[in-house]
Structure 1
Amino acid sequence: MRQIYVKEFGIMPGDEKETTLKLRKMLQEIQKEEKLEIRFEKGIYHFYPDYAGEKLLYISNHDEDTIKKVAFDLSGMKQVKISGTDTQFLFHTDILPFHIDRCREICIEGITIDYARTGYSEGKIVEVTDKKMLLEINREEYPYQVIHGNIFFEEENGIDELYCGCLEMDAKRCAPVWRGQDISFNRPYQSSYGAFFQEAGENLVEISLTGGQKFPETSKSGNILILRHHWRTHPCFYLTDSADVTLRHITIYHCTGMAVISQFTNNITIEQVDIRRHPVKKRMFTATADGFHFVYAGGKIQIKDCLVENQLDDPVNIHGIYGRIHKVLNKKEVIVELVEGMQKGVKLGQPGELFGIIDNRTMLEKERAEVCEVTMLNKDFQYIAFRDEMESLTQGFVVENKSYAPDVLIEGCTFRNNRARGLLLTTAGQVIVRKNRFETPGAAILIEGDSNYWFESGATKYILLEENEFINCAYVPQWGSAPIQVSPSAGIWEEGQRYHQYLEVRKNLFRCFDNRLVYAVNLETLIFQDNKIEKTDQFPPIAGEAFKLDGVLKFQTDYYG
């Protein structure tokens, strides 16, 4: 493997905008070479968007902002390793750090990633009553302006209003508050608070509620309010149509999207990749969305020895996409709609792949066949032609690409203190979750699937949870009914048939502040054996029983509470 030192191309540590241009020229020069190691030496490298290449990208489960500037555009590269030694990459919004597209055998290791100006800000609650809250915001770290009763935050590329709401964090636990909730101000939906912002002194902002609502009872002085003013637009690593990708020995302090998002990529290994709080700046947040997110992955996903903490959505989400049949042209041809806004523009597959037709009411498969054409008409609709005639094509039913069902191994990781849930597992492959530690405010394990709202597929066949620790999980009810939750959204169940097939929970430690262990519906087999249950007094108990089951056909347990 030939080694290339980036200093040979004039890429040096330091704060200069030309670094992005030099990187772009280097990658263009070596783009067709294989068996390369690109080495970055010790230091802080700055990457600005000014001279970066632009690409039209529809990134699943992100807010639609389709023109992206990309720093490391690795499109089409094969057998390439990018490595650093005590190497820090500091990105300047808005820029996509890595796009791995149509690649084979890519390894990235030994780097630390942060942003010069974070996409979120935070403030300390100084005082709070039913109708008023006084926030202390470090104006130097998080520059802001109060204009016409609203607050705006200065970013490197402009100024943004507090669009995306807030999340209150317990200052002592550095985690979402017990029974907390998302808070938003002056947004066009019923649950949003009407509010007036005004300056109240140096680094102080007073929020006065203008409607009939009150601040949550969980709000306390001393807690930290994460202020979400940037849409989720730029993940750290965006993988598309690639295979055999390894991310190893990487630390991510922040990004303005998910840490890793992959689409239609096979064989992904994520090892010792930490999404962690900054050790000096002590920000309460890390990534602005999910940790590791996989849409129509294939082969095997391996996530090992990672710390994933304080990101603003789930640590891991593995799923496909249901496309809704908008119009049936004949027995072979349909127009399919991408309904969920964050899935717009994602092509559902390629000719030769196997698609299933799913009854959206029961979420059960009616039939399947190979597709011979998939054509994007625009970001909303795509034309799909099947090789054989289909008898169950029905407007309102959904299609699912069955050619992507990865096996999954998640081992030796810690997931803690983030917004929402833990692992969202919906793949028909074999799933093993072993020797991990969960401290999540919602369900630590969520096995769902939905064909009417989020349109995230699919049905699972085998999931094993063993030798994990579940520590005081599910303390925010809106994010989970129990530490382990199985809850596909099918409105109708067929006699003797279930959406999810097999879940085994064995040799785990549950340290719980109440009785709840498993909430499960629409599942064929649940085995819960050889687990250790310990009670804690971390939070007041939430009402519920150990096993809340509905429509579970077979249940075995040796725990009776």
Structure 2
Amino acid sequence: MKINVNEWGIVPGRRKDTSFRLRDLLDFCRMEEETELIFERGEYHFFPDYAAEKLLYISNHDEDTIKRIAFDLSGCNNLTIRGNGAMFLFHTDILPFYCHECRHIHIEGIQMDYERPSYSEAVIAHAEPGLLELSVDRVKYPFFVKHKRLYFTGENFCHELQFWLEMDGEKGEPIAEDPDFFFNLPDGGAAAEWKETKEGAEIRLVGEGNRFSRASREGNRLILRHHPRNYPGFYVTDSVDIVCKDIELYHSEGMAFIAQYTENIELERFNITFNPKKRRAFTAAADGFHFVCCSGLIHIKDCLAENQLDDPLNIHGIYFRIREILGKGEYLAELVHHQQKGVKPGKPGDVISLVDKRTMLEKGKSMLAEYRILNKDFCVIKLEDEIQGLVPGDVFENRSCSPDLCVEGCTFRNNRARGLLLTTAGKVIVKNNYFHVPGAALLISGDCREWFESGASGSVIVENNIFDKCAYVTNWGKAPIQVSPETEEFADKKRVHDRLEIRNNKFICTDSRLIWAQNIDTIVFEGNQVILEEGYPEREGESFYTSYVNHFIDKND
């Protein structure tokens, strides 16, 4: 069934809430076997006042569990949304798209932005080691100073500014020296005092030895990060066959797209980019594309991710930490990191891998028989088999949720942090992409000490990509390609990750670093072109640093 949404009173060009009528339309779609919603080109406004409200735990986001939702697609099947280039403009804290227990969802042809973004920005008008004078557009980014602290306001928020990301005013990318700056935090950062000025605001550091980045200079732009990351653009859970095409996402209050426990996802020409009418220094407030405990095939094709505030792509599982062994095959487990609360361990029949906390090597496998959620922090799982040798502090992950990944034809540039974070046991192919990121372009890691992001990688093939001056910020990467699972101990021969093949790529570098790798069985480096250019401070390091790598095969010319 095809439905023109204007038949339901959803029309462009009016600065009125669309959420209320949209709720009725989506309720109708849930009753139909197959539906296509057609939007007329134009601008649509979505406010949270009459939007659906649900309790949601979104992995890798700040904990703010009650969410208002514009497009609540929960329970929809065989649904297509055609935007025809329409602009969806969201107001205040609202989750644009939520898919839960959906099948065959196709969304295409939309632009997305927020009337008042969750971050603000400023330009450095004058710079000294311990003082910055900032120019701020008070109309776009309202603020005030109280008790020598700086606060920014929005349509429904008032948050203190305590950290920023500094961008090079000419290159439009994070500066090369200490781009993140933190202050007035309860647990760290410099002490700072603010005062209002005619052009904006002035910040002065208090205390001996405090200074701003040595790369701070007049004309650089500051992305002022004063809002929690709590509302992604798309949040998908427990669904199958999700497709997003021809999406222009100009801003989201969290990640652009995140999926959990979802099978088969295709993102094609999904661009995280600038609104051409506004040209802010930032796009999404966190990662670009993020996948947690997914399965099937994730296909990212011909996408652009630029100037978002974290990695373009991260794929991983979650390590649950065993708090107590209750009986044979029965364990009390906890979700440790504060941004992973409320995530379930899987479903009965899934394969569970039990992992040594020190080496991150598997101690055994079994199938999940049942589980019981106690609260957002703890659960009890029962396995079909008892695994010998487990101790409290060991961890487990869901190995049934290890998707294949193909990333092709994409551009990743000028964002904060790194490029693609690849921790999945599925087959990974990264081909025909362009990378210009300040950290490692490819990071294969995993840990059970801080983030608890799991996934011993299987086969990773990297071919025909361009790595253009990556890893110029050493805090975010030791080399353009980095393998670094965070283990406490190393086994004699067995390794956490399996095989990485790097073939026929072009590396444009300002120093000798190419690969930094440890705790992987095999690396193949073949047919790659290396070009040395100037442009960034030269960093120390070897072309190939390897530690606890069983086989390093260099077939390069």
TM over 0.5: yes
Matching residue's letter, 1:436: N
Residues 426-463 of structure 1 show CA distances to partners (whole Å, capped at 9, x for unaligned) of: 00010000000000000000000101111000101100
Q: Which residue of 1 aligns with 2:258?
A: 261
Q: Which residue of 2 aligns with 1:469?
A: 466
Equivalence map 1:102-113=2 (5 Å): 102-113=101-112
Q: CA deviation at 1:388?
A: 2.1
- Tell whether the 8 Å contact from 1:14 to 1:44 is kept in structure 2 after alignment: yes
Q: Does 1:310 align with 2:284?
A: no
Q: Does 1:54 align with 2:50?
A: no
CA distance in 2, matches of 1:18, 1:198: 37
Q: CA deviation at 1:15?
A: 3.9
CA distance in 2, matches of 1:550, 1:156: 52
Q: Does 1:240 align with 2:237?
A: yes
Match for 1:362 among 353, 359, 364?
A: 359
CA distance in 2, matches of 1:415, 1:220: 26
CA distance in 1, matches of 2:167, 2:389: 49
- Tell whether the 8 Å contact from 2:23 to 2:52 is kept in structure 1 after alignment: yes
CA distance in 1, matches of 2:356, 2:177: 36
Match for 1:206 among 197, 202, 207?
A: 202
CA distance in 1, matches of 2:543, 2:556: 9
**What SS does the corresponding residue of 1:176 show, helix, strand or coil?**
coil
Q: Which moved more, 1:414-423 or 1:214-223?
A: 214-223
Identity %: 50
Q: Does 1:392 align with 2:393?
A: no
- Tell whether the 8 Å contact from 2:419 to 2:437 is kept in structure 1 after alignment: yes
**What SS does the corresponding residue of 1:30 show, helix, strand or coil?**
helix
CA distance in 2, matches of 1:432, 1:44: 38
Q: Which residue of 1 aligns with 2:333?
A: 336
**What SS does the corresponding residue of 1:256 show, helix, strand or coil?**
coil
**What SS does the corresponding residue of 1:175 show, helix, strand or coil?**
coil
Matching residue's letter, 2:207: G
CA distance in 1, matches of 2:389, 2:381: 15
CA distance in 2, matches of 1:18, 1:289: 27
TM-score calculated relative to the size of structure 2: 0.99
Q: Which residue of 2 aligns with 1:534?
A: 531
Match for 1:481 among 450, 455, 478?
A: 478
Match for 1:276 among 265, 273, 276?
A: 273
Q: Which moved more, 1:310-319 or 1:77-86?
A: 77-86
Q: Which moved more, 1:115-124 or 1:274-283?
A: 274-283
Match for 1:177 among 170, 175, 178?
A: 175
Q: CA deviation at 1:307?
A: 0.7
Matching residue's letter, 2:520: L
Q: Does 1:442 align with 2:439?
A: yes
Matching residue's letter, 1:188: P
Match for 1:523 among 520, 523, 527?
A: 520
Q: CA deviation at 1:559?
A: 4.1
* Unaligned ranges ≥5, structure 2: none
Match for 2:412 among 415, 439, 449?
A: 415
**What SS does the corresponding residue of 2:23 show, helix, strand or coil?**
helix
Q: Which residue of 2 aligns with 1:79?
A: 78
Equivalence map 1:178-193=2 (5 Å): 178-190=176-188, 192-193=189-190
CA distance in 1, matches of 2:177, 2:464: 28
Residues 150-200 of structure 1 show CA distances to partners (whole Å, capped at 9, x for unaligned) of: 11111111311114x10000011110001233111200223x111001012
CA distance in 2, matches of 1:15, 1:262: 32
- Tell whether the 8 Å contact from 1:319 to 1:427 is kept in structure 2 after alignment: yes
- Tell whether the 8 Å contact from 2:138 to 2:200 is kept in structure 1 after alignment: no
- Tell whether the 8 Å contact from 2:232 to 2:255 is kept in structure 1 after alignment: yes
Residues 499-556 of structure 1 show CA distances to partners (whole Å, capped at 9, x for unaligned) of: 0010000000000000000000001000111000001101121111100111111011
* Unaligned ranges ≥5, structure 1: none
- Tell whether the 8 Å contact from 1:357 to 1:392 is kept in structure 2 after alignment: no
CA distance in 2, matches of 1:105, 1:309: 28
- Tell whether the 8 Å contact from 2:174 to 2:415 is kept in structure 1 after alignment: yes
Equivalence map 1:127-142=2 (5 Å): 127-142=126-141
Matching residue's letter, 1:35: E
CA distance in 2, matches of 1:540, 1:387: 55
- Tell whether the 8 Å contact from 2:508 to 2:533 is kept in structure 1 after alignment: yes
Q: CA RMSD in A?
A: 1.0
CA distance in 2, matches of 1:438, 1:214: 31
- Tell whether the 8 Å contact from 2:112 to 2:248 is kept in structure 1 after alignment: yes
Match for 2:294 among 297, 301, 311?
A: 297
Q: Which moved more, 1:110-119 or 1:533-542?
A: 533-542
Q: CA deviation at 1:391?
A: 1.7
CA distance in 1, matches of 2:371, 2:498: 30
Match for 2:320 among 323, 342, 359?
A: 323
**What SS does the corresponding residue of 1:339 show, helix, strand or coil?**
coil
CA distance in 2, matches of 1:296, 1:397: 19
- Tell whether the 8 Å contact from 1:17 to 1:51 is kept in structure 2 after alignment: no
- Tell whether the 8 Å contact from 2:164 to 2:222 is kept in structure 1 after alignment: yes
Matching residue's letter, 1:277: F
Q: CA deviation at 1:389?
A: 2.3
Matching residue's letter, 2:507: F
**What SS does the corresponding residue of 1:516 show, helix, strand or coil?**
coil
CA distance in 1, matches of 2:182, 2:75: 42
- Tell whether the 8 Å contact from 1:463 to 1:504 is kept in structure 2 after alignment: yes
CA distance in 2, matches of 1:384, 1:294: 23
CA distance in 2, matches of 1:468, 1:529: 13
Residues 57-106 of structure 1 show CA distances to partners (whole Å, capped at 9, x for unaligned) of: 00000000000000000111111100111200000110000001000000
Residues 279-335 of structure 1 show CA distances to partners (whole Å, capped at 9, x for unaligned) of: 121100000000000001100000000010000000000000000001110122111
Q: Which residue of 1 aligns with 2:66?
A: 67
- Tell whether the 8 Å contact from 2:310 to 2:416 is kept in structure 1 after alignment: yes
CA distance in 1, matches of 2:137, 2:276: 18
CA distance in 1, matches of 2:316, 2:329: 26
**What SS does the corresponding residue of 1:138 show, helix, strand or coil?**
coil
**What SS does the corresponding residue of 2:397 show, helix, strand or coil?**
strand
**What SS does the corresponding residue of 1:171 show, helix, strand or coil?**
coil
Q: Which residue of 2 aligns with 1:25?
A: 24
Matching residue's letter, 2:26: L
CA distance in 2, matches of 1:15, 1:257: 27
Q: Which residue of 1 aligns with 2:453?
A: 456
**What SS does the corresponding residue of 2:327 show, helix, strand or coil?**
coil
Q: CA deviation at 1:17?
A: 4.0
- Tell whether the 8 Å contact from 1:17 to 1:50 is kept in structure 2 after alignment: no
Residues 349-392 of structure 1 show CA distances to partners (whole Å, capped at 9, x for unaligned) of: 11111111100100000011111111110010001011222223
Q: Which moved more, 1:266-275 or 1:536-545?
A: 536-545
CA distance in 2, matches of 1:333, 1:407: 30
- Tell whether the 8 Å contact from 2:41 to 2:84 is kept in structure 1 after alignment: yes
**What SS does the corresponding residue of 2:18 show, helix, strand or coil?**
helix
**What SS does the corresponding residue of 2:321 show, helix, strand or coil?**
strand
**What SS does the corresponding residue of 1:105 show, helix, strand or coil?**
strand
CA distance in 1, matches of 2:224, 2:549: 41
Q: Which residue of 2 aligns with 1:167?
A: 165
- Tell whether the 8 Å contact from 2:177 to 2:213 is kept in structure 1 after alignment: no
